């Protein structure tokens, strides 16, 4: 037995719950003007532009997967019956859509990396 009566005999102290009090700047909504917030950080415009281009690139890649790659991949794998000519056309379409997705992923990676490090992309 541990000194001090450890184990099942010891009762746990109640957990104290505290309300979070934000700093004074956050409490006063007039202290930060949303229109002037981009003026505080000159990188804000570049980051938002990069985020918008990344979203467009990601939407394009998702549409490539669900509209072009996956239906043709089902033909190639034999989940959907098709002739040899259809399978050859599906292979070609899938190849080009996959390459396009790879190329479109490079700007997304650059934007994600530059947002945290302040690079001028």
- Domains of the chain, by residue range, sit at 69-121
Gap between the Cα atoms of 49 and 98, Å rounded: 25
* pLDDT of residue 34 exceeding 80: no
pLDDT above 80 for 80 = yes
- Res 96 pLDDT > 90: yes
Across residues 39-62, what is the average pLDDT? 72
Sign of torsion over alpha carbons 69, 71, 72, 73: positive
Task: Give residue 30's pLDDT band: very low, low, confident or very high (50, 70, 90).
Answer: very low
Residue 101 pLDDT > 80: yes
Q: H-type helices in 1-121, by residue range?
A: 24-27, 37-40, 44-63, 70-77, 84-117
Q: pLDDT higher for 60 or 49?
A: 60
**Cβ-contact 53, 28 below 8 angstroms:** no
Mean pLDDT calculated for residue range 66-74: 94
107: pLDDT strictly greater than 50: yes
């Amino acid at each position: 037995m541990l000194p001090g009566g450890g184990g099942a005999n010891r009762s746990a102290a109640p957990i104290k719950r505290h309300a979070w009090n934000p700093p004074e700047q956050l409490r006063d909504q007039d202290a930060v003007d949303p229109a002037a917030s981009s003026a505080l950080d000159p990188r804000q415009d570049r980051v938002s532009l990069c985020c918008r281009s990344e979203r467009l690139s990601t939407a394009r890649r998702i549409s490539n997967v669900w509209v072009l790659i996956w239906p043709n991949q089902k033909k190639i794998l034999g989940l959907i019956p098709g002739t040899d000519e259809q399978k050859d056309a599906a292979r070609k379409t899938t190849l080009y859509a996959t390459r396009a997705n790879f190329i479109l992923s490079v700007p997304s990676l650059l934007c994600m990396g530059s947002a945290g490090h302040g690079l001028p992309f």
